[in-house]
Amino acid sequence: MRAFRNLLFGLTLICTVVMSGCGGTASVAGISPVTRGKWTVLVYMNAANDLDTFSRLNVSQMQQVATNPDVRFVVQWKQSTKVTFDASFNGTRRYLIKQGSGNAIVSQLVQDMGTGVDMGVPQTVNNFIAWGKAHYPADHYALVLWDHGNGWLPGFKGAKPSTRPFAISYDDETGHSIQVWQLNQAFKNQHLDIVAFDASLMQMDEVAYQIKDYTDFIAGSEESPPGAGYPYQRVFAPFSNTPDASPKDLSKAFVDGMLNEPTYSTFQITQSVIDTSQLPGLATAASALQSALVANKTSVNAIIAQARANTQAYLPTNTRYFYDSIGLCNQLAALTGNADIQTACANYNTAASNAIVWEGHNSMSPGSHGIAIDFSPNSFFSTVSGNYAKLDWNTASQWSQWLSVAQ
C-alpha cells in the first residue's frame, strides 16, 4: 500500500543506494555474547514485495542513529529476486545495525537464513522476537512490523501480487500475509514496550485490541503513509540520545518523526500512539455505542451517508470503510440529535482520548484524531463478517451487531 505513492522516489533510490557489506551467502556460525542494553529495537522487514527499494533506505537511516551501544537495532530482512528485479540479495538475513552516515549498508550480517523463510506467517514473527531477545537482551524492547498493511481486513493464502492480499506482512514470494487475528500467535508468550506498524492503515480499534496483551504502547497510522514509511533517523534519534526516558515519552518520537519529515509535507500524514491499558475501556464504550446505534438504526441509517461523507476516511474503496472514530462519533451525535447516541458517542470519545497518548496529523488529513474504526455498510460487511467475528475486538465490543444492520 505504501509504495505506490512514492514510486518515483523509489526509482531514484535504485540508482543511488550502494549495497556494501551485504554480499555472500554463508551463514554466520554464531553470535558473540553481548551485554544487556537499555533498548533493543527489532525490525521485522518483509521486503519480498514492491517495497524492497525502501528497505535499503530505511536500513541506511537506522545506521545514522546507531550511535549508542546501549541501543541496538536488529533487523530481519527478506528480499526476493523472484519478486523484484532489483533485489539486493535473495533470501532472509539478520543484521545488527552498525553506524554509518551514507547510503552504503555497512551493518553486520549475523545470520543468513537462506531462501526458505516465509515472512507472511505469524510464527516467523514470534521466532524473530524470541531470537532477538535471547541474543540482544535489554531493559526495553520495541518491535517494528515493516511492510504493506490494510487494517484489519483479511488476506487469502495463495494470493498473487497483482491481487494484493490484505492484512499485514505480504510475502509475495509465498503469497502469504498475516491476518490480524493471527497476531496473537505472532506475539504468543512475548511482551514488548512498543509495537510500531510501519505499514498502512493499521491504527484502528480492531488491530490495537488484538495485541493489547503483548505491548504497552502501539504506534501507527490511520492513513497510508508514503512508500518510505518511517524516517528512522528521526524516529529513533531520541532512543539513542535519551535511552533512559520512559517508553511512553520515547514513543512520541514516532509522531514527531513523521510530522517533522520535510519530504512528507505533500502527503497525508497521521501518526498516533495508543496506551493499551486503556483499550478495555474503549471496547466497553464501543459496545454501548453499537447498542445505541442498533436501537435507533432507522434514524441513524437516514443520516449515515452524510456522516460518512463528513468524516475523515482512509483510502476509501468499495471494500474499505475505515473512518476516524472520534470524528465519526462527532458526526453521529450532531446529525441524529438522539440523546442516547449523543451520550454513547461522548463516552466513546472520552475512552478513545484516554487511550491515545500522542497524536499528530498534517493539514492533508485534517479530520484525524488518532484511531480509526470499520464503519462499513452491511452490503459489504456481510462478505467479511465471518472473519470479523474472529477478532478479539468484536468479542469485547460486539461492534458487528451494528455493522450487520448499517446501510
**Tell me: the pLDDT tens digits for 62-113?**
999 999 999 999 999 999 999 998 899 999 999 999 999 988 999 999 999 9
Asked if 42 and 154 sit in the same domain, the reply is yes
Q: What is the pLDDT of residue 15?
A: 33
Confidence (pTM): 0.92
Measured between its terminal Cα atoms, the distance across the chain in Å is 27
Per-residue pLDDT at 149 exceeds 80 = yes
Asked if 100 and 213 sit in the same domain, the reply is yes
Per-residue pLDDT at 115 exceeds 90 = yes
Q: What is the pLDDT of residue 102?
A: 87
| 3-state secondary structure at position 148 | coil
Q: What rounded mean pLDDT belongs to the chain?
A: 91
| 3-state secondary structure at position 169 | strand
Q: What is the pLDDT of residue 34?
A: 75
Q: For the chain, how are helix, strand and coil distributed in percent, rounded to 5?
A: 40, 20, 40
**pLDDT, mean of residues 113-131:** 97
Q: What is the pLDDT of residue 167?
A: 82
Asked if 272 and 304 sit in the same domain, the reply is no
Residue scoring higher pLDDT (153 or 165): 153
Asked if 89 and 193 sit in the same domain, the reply is yes
Q: What is the pLDDT of residue 26?
A: 34
Residue scoring higher pLDDT (7 or 207): 207
Residue at 72 is within a domain: yes
Asked whether 211 and 218 are in contact (CB, 8 A), the reply is yes
Residue at 43 is within a domain: yes
CA distances from 298 to 147, 290, 328, 338, 407 (A): 41, 14, 18, 12, 10
Contacts of 116 (CB under 8 A, 6+ apart): none
Asked if 240 and 194 sit in the same domain, the reply is yes
Cell of residue 206, nine digits = 480492531
Asked if 237 and 326 sit in the same domain, the reply is no
User: How far out from the chain centre does Cα 401 lie?
Assistant: 26
pLDDT 10s digits, 5-43? 343 333 333 333 333 333 333 344 446 657 999 999 999
Cell of residue 198, nine digits = 510501519
Domain boundary among 223, 246, 277: 277
CA distances from 256 to 3, 74, 261 (A): 22, 22, 8
**pLDDT, mean of residues 273-295:** 98
Asked if 140 and 200 sit in the same domain, the reply is yes
Asked if 336 and 366 sit in the same domain, the reply is yes
User: How far out from the chain centre does Cα 75 lie?
Assistant: 16
Residue at 171 is within a domain: yes
Per-residue pLDDT at 166 exceeds 70 = no
pLDDT 10s digits, 233-257? 999 999 999 999 999 999 999 999 9
CA 390 to CA 67: how far, in whole Å?
A: 43
Asked whether 54 and 229 are in contact (CB, 8 A), the reply is yes
Q: What is the pLDDT of residue 154?
A: 82
Q: Among residues 44, 66, 45, 41, which one has the least CA distance to residue 55?
A: 45
Asked if 267 and 328 sit in the same domain, the reply is no
Domain boundary among 252, 277, 302: 277
Residue 87 is part of a domain; what is its CATH number?
3.40.50.11970
CA 390 to CA 266: how far, in whole Å?
A: 37
Residue at 11 is within a domain: no
Q: What is the pLDDT of residue 157?
A: 42
Q: What is the pLDDT of residue 31?
A: 60
Residue at 6 is within a domain: no
For the chain, what percent of residues have pLDDT higher than 90? 86
Q: Among residues 150, 179, 24, which one has the least CA distance to residue 91?
A: 24
**pLDDT, mean of residues 333-345:** 97
Residue position matching grid coordinates 551501544? 69
Asked if 57 and 171 sit in the same domain, the reply is yes
Range of the domain at 269: 34-277
Residue at 1 is within a domain: no
Q: Work out how many domains the chain is built from and give that number.
A: 2
Cell of residue 196, nine digits = 510500531
Residue at 353 is within a domain: yes
CA 210 to CA 276: how far, in whole Å?
A: 10
Residue 95: strand pairing partners: 75, 109
Give the phi and the psi of residue 92 in degrees, each rounded to 5. Answer: -125, 135
Q: What is the pLDDT of residue 388?
A: 97
Q: What is the pLDDT of residue 291?
A: 98
Cell of residue 287, nine digits = 459496545
Cell of residue 29, nine digits = 556460525
Asked if 296 and 310 sit in the same domain, the reply is yes
Asked if 174 and 91 sit in the same domain, the reply is yes
Domain boundary among 220, 244, 277: 277
Residue at 27 is within a domain: no
